[in-house]
Every structure is written in C-alpha cells, then in structure tokens.
Amino acid sequence: MRSLLFVPAANARKVEKARQWQADAVILDWEDAVLPEDKPLARMLTRELLLGRGEAGPKILVRLNPVSSDWFADDLAALESLRPDGALLSKCRSPEEVERTAKALDCGLCPLIESPLGLQNAFSIATASPLVEALAFGAEDFCAETGIRRSDGEPELLYARSAIVTACRAAGREVYDSPCLELEDLEAVRVSAERSRNLGFSGKLAIHPKHVPVIDGVFSPTDEEVREAQLLLEAFAASPSGALRWKGRMVDEAILRQARRILERASLLVKPR
C-alpha cells in the first residue's frame, strides 16, 4: 500500500464515502478523531460499512483505541464477528499488546509506534505475531512524549524514522510514515512523501483526500524507472560475470535487488483492485 487515508468513523457522511476514496486503504479512526461519547456511533457506522461493502474500492482498516484505554475491550467486541482488512493498534508500546489483540482478532495488524518505549520495542512488536503486517510511525504523539520540536525537513525525527524502517525490514514487514499535516499545501505533502520514500518507507498515512494522488505518485515507480530496471536486469543476465559496468557505475547484486523491487512494485500497482 502507498496511501492510507484516515476517516473519522463517527462522521456518517465521510464513512459513507469511504469506499469511493481513491486511496489504497481507508482507515476508519476510532481513536483521536472520535470524542468519547461518539465511540459507540463510530463502531456502529463501521460495522454497517463492513457488512455492506462489495468487492471494489480500497482496503478498509480500523484504528483501535490503545490497549490501555477504557474503550479497547469494547473495540475488540465490536470487531469480533467482522473481518476488516486490518487493524491499527494505537500507541503500541510492547509485544504483549500485540499478542493480546492477535488473540481476539483474525486480521492483519499494524501497530502504531508513537512513543520512545514503542520505538525501543519496534522489532519485538513487529515480530510479536504472524498477523503483524506492518508498523506505522505516529510523529505527533512521539514528539509530544519526547519534547521534540520539529523544524523544516524534520531532521529531529531522522533517528526515529530510520530506526522504525530498520526494525521493520529486519522483521520482513512493511512500514508507513506519519501524515503531513499541511491540508492545502500539496507541495509540502510531496516533499514529505519523498523524504519518507527515500528513508525506505513503503507508503504514507494521509489526513485529506487531496493528499492521496500526491502520495501515490511519489511511491509509484515512474515509467523511466521501470524501463531502466528492465534494461539493467537484461544487461546483467547477458553478462558473463557477477558484476557489470552500467552507465559509468559498477553494478552488483545489491543494485539488482533494487531493480527487482522496482519491477515488483510496478507489477503490484497494475493489478485490479
């Protein structure tokens, strides 16, 4: 997945449109975007959507309230007989929280790393259950807990982002970056998405439908990248040695793996939804 769009699950109009959004996944948010008194409504609207959905449209994920919250047990009960495409675990801090959730739900899990403790436990969280498909980074809560003040380019979060990517790749999981909070500045969204891509993230969370095509474009291989990858692999296949001089650069297996990843990602994107 490239783009994962948050939708406040207590907003009936937005939930009704969820299957029409062009994101790879829609996240029905039961946590921060929903007031305590509206939690039951969010669960009810989500249930109606999941029971009535068809085959077309984006994947439907649900962001649960934290395991330590008063609402978590009711969240699990509401999803018990349903099968969303996945569940995000808010403010996940330990593998034990993943294990507890995995015992109750039979769907893909994506813990959100939003604290220093969660970051320290990222690899253990990613490998806590076979149901864990990815981790995601929550920069806002992480900054609130650490006292980080972000500046242009967010170099203050480079360590956290790189650590999460490294933990996920070591565990064989996908990894998604936190959303850009600029609602109207699409150039800022593009710059943010490019930074995420360059650091090794699989895709990015989004808070506005306008952000989705920008994110999808950044995380999709261009026609030129696909063409270059194909030519490189063809040239290497015809080479008699384990290394190849290609356009002034020395190419070995590590470069070839990157080319294969480009072609693999391109092939996934052309499959019908």
* pLDDT greater than 50 at residue 204: yes
Tell me the residue type at 158. L
Percent of the chain residues topping a pLDDT of 70: 96
Set out the domains of the chain in order of their start, with CATH numbers. Answer: 3-218 (3.20.20.60), 223-269 (no CATH)
- The pLDDT, as a whole number, for residue 240 is 66
Tell me, rounded to whole angstroms, the distance of Cα 183 from its chain centroid.
19
- The pLDDT, as a whole number, for residue 273 is 35
> pLDDT tens for residues 43-62?
999 999 998 876 778 999 99
How many Å apart are CA 59 and CA 65, to the nearest integer?
A: 20
Beta strands in the chain (DSSP E): 3-8, 25-29, 59-64, 86-89, 108-113, 134-137, 174-177, 203-206, 244-246, 249-251
> pLDDT tens for residues 240-253?
666 677 787 778 78
Please identify which residue in the block is written with the tokens 């994107």: 269
* pLDDT greater than 70 at residue 235: yes
